[in-house]
Amino acid sequence: EAPAFMHPHTGPLSLCTHPAYCKGMFARIGFLIHGDSKKRPGEASNGCIILPAEDRRAISDAGGGTVTVVSGEPRAEPSTHKP
């Protein structure tokens, strides 16, 4: 279950995530799903998932789900060069 709640910093309709520790967490210990800042749009998060209220409400109403988080670093293509 994924009930939305009022978080003192991220505001209404915030959701906790529960990481699958067998997967890479990219040096993070957790993520919230929450809305953007009204005072400073685009600056509400230090890496959390930012979604509009209707999407957060839908996640909460559905009881949660699975989100796959990937690194923002581009993957290096394997080299075909032979020294």
pLDDT in tens, 26-44: 666 767 999 999 899 988 8
Query: How confident is the model at residue 23, as a pLDDT?
Result: 57
Both tokens of residue 52?
């509009």
Q: What are the phi and psi torsion angles at 6 (to 5°)?
A: -90, 115
Both tokens of residue 7?
């978080």
Inter-residue contact 35 to 10 (CB < 8 Å):
yes
> What is the reported pTM?
0.70
Report the mean per-residue pLDDT for the chain. Answer: 80
User: How would you list the strands of the sheet with 5-7, edge to edge?
Assistant: 5-7, 11-16, 32-34, 49-50
Percent of the chain at pLDDT exceeding 90: 34
